[in-house]
Amino acid sequence: MKTLYAILVLCGAVALLPAFVSSGVVLNLVIMTLYATLLGQAWNILAGFGGQYSFGHAAFFGTGAYASAALQVHFGVNAWLCLPFAIVCGAAVGALVGALSFRYGLRGSYFALVTLAFAEVFRILANSVKFTGGGVGLLVPLKSSALDFQFQGKAGFLYVILALTLAGFLLSWWLKHSRYGAWLTAVRDNEDSAAALGVDAFRVKLQAIVISAGLMAAGGAFYVQYFQYIDPHLAYGPAVSVEALLGPIVGGLGTVFGPLLGAAALKLLGELTRNLMGDAPGVSLMIYGAVLIAMVTFLPRGIGGLFQRLAAKAP
């Protein structure tokens, strides 16, 4: 229960932030950190808890983003109603990818490459059809009303992404304490042994990818409302998949707070790099790559694992 209380206290503190901070820059940094945490939680559910490493989570993100944007642009549907529809569409794509991959026993690098291939196929399709705006993309109509999921200030977006991130935290906490979570981690540790003990590995992994994809699609729908634009490269490009996996790897795989620790560290590092080196192209990606190599080499359990080691050594 301590973890649950920590989640609630943390989210409560963030919810109070707009009352004390009026800087749009600071609030934007908090929003983007929570957004990266949401993507990290989505990836962490499948990879951290389930051991199924995906390189193509952009397939779910982009589906949610385009589902929300297309409904608004082509049919005039209210953006709040588009959010659950986007989540369902992302989860459906997750079910498709999972059913095709897990039914044929794809694991490890094979599963990672299949997810990457799906993301690339979706990017090519989105770049080729008029419904998605082709290579030009879709621009969400500006309405500037809270009833239309568009806010005049940053505070409204902060509360929305905080609610979505809280849902991700609660899902991770549930996985840590539920029977299904025990099944999922058993499949991660040794799928054959788990199957021998009666765990339906196919169903467990399929449910995990559906939950993960739905959460990722929610991030895509939020992205569309926050930036009011989406195109195939933003929706299905590798940058989204990389951002989703970096947070948990840096913060700590298979932990509740790992995605938040990783997202916060990377966002602060990105801001520091931008201030010191300006807008030099490719520098942020080089630093991200260096950080990832260092984390995998020297801190395989991430920042969270480092904190646990230090706490264990403390008198």
129-176 per-position pLDDT tens digit: 999 999 999 999 988 889 999 998 899 999 999 999 999 999 999 999
Nearest CA-CA partner of 164 in 68, 56, 265, 285: 68
The whole-angstrom distance between residue 49's C-alpha and the CA centroid of its chain comes to: 14
State yes or no: pLDDT of 309 exceeds 90: no
CA distance 82 to 78: 6
The whole-angstrom distance between residue 108's C-alpha and the CA centroid of its chain comes to: 20
Contact 86, 221 (CB under 8 A): yes
What percent of the chain has pLDDT above 70?
A: 94
State yes or no: pLDDT of 314 exceeds 80: no
| pLDDT, position 169 | 96
CB atoms within 10 A of CB 55: 20
Average pLDDT over residues 282-296: 72
State yes or no: pLDDT of 271 exceeds 80: no
State yes or no: pLDDT of 19 exceeds 80: yes
| pLDDT, position 188 | 94
| β-pair type (229-230, 138-139) | antiparallel
User: What one-letter code names the amino acid at 135?
Assistant: G
Structure tokens at 302: 């991430």
Confidence of residue 282 (pLDDT cuts 50, 70, 90): low
Nearest CA-CA partner of 68 in 54, 57, 84, 45: 84
Confidence of residue 294 (pLDDT cuts 50, 70, 90): confident
- Which tens digits make up the pLDDT trace of 41-60? 999 999 999 999 999 999 99
CA distance 77 to 73: 8
Question: Which residue's entry shows tokens 């969400």?
Answer: 140
| pLDDT, position 285 | 67
Tell me the pLDDT of the chain averaged across its residues.
91
CA distance 241 to 81: 26
Q: What ranges in the chain are assigned the alpha helix state H?
A: 2-20, 24-47, 58-75, 79-103, 108-126, 154-177, 179-189, 191-196, 201-227, 232-236, 238-251, 258-277, 283-298, 302-313
User: What one-letter code names the amino acid at 240?
Assistant: V
- Which tens digits make up the pLDDT trace of 54-99? 999 999 999 999 999 999 999 999 999 999 999 999 999 999 999 9
Confidence of residue 122 (pLDDT cuts 50, 70, 90): very high
Residues 6+ apart with CB under 8 A from 5: none
Beta strands per DSSP E along 190-315:
229-230
Contact 196, 27 (CB under 8 A): no
| pLDDT, position 152 | 87
- Which tens digits make up the pLDDT trace of 167-220? 999 999 999 999 999 999 999 999 999 999 999 999 999 999 999 999 999 999
Structure tokens at 152: 């005049």
| pLDDT, position 179 | 95
Contact 61, 39 (CB under 8 A): yes
Q: What is the dihedral of CA 44, 49, 50, 53, to 10 degrees?
A: 40
Of 299 and 234, the structure prediction assigns the larger pLDDT to 234
| pLDDT, position 278 | 59
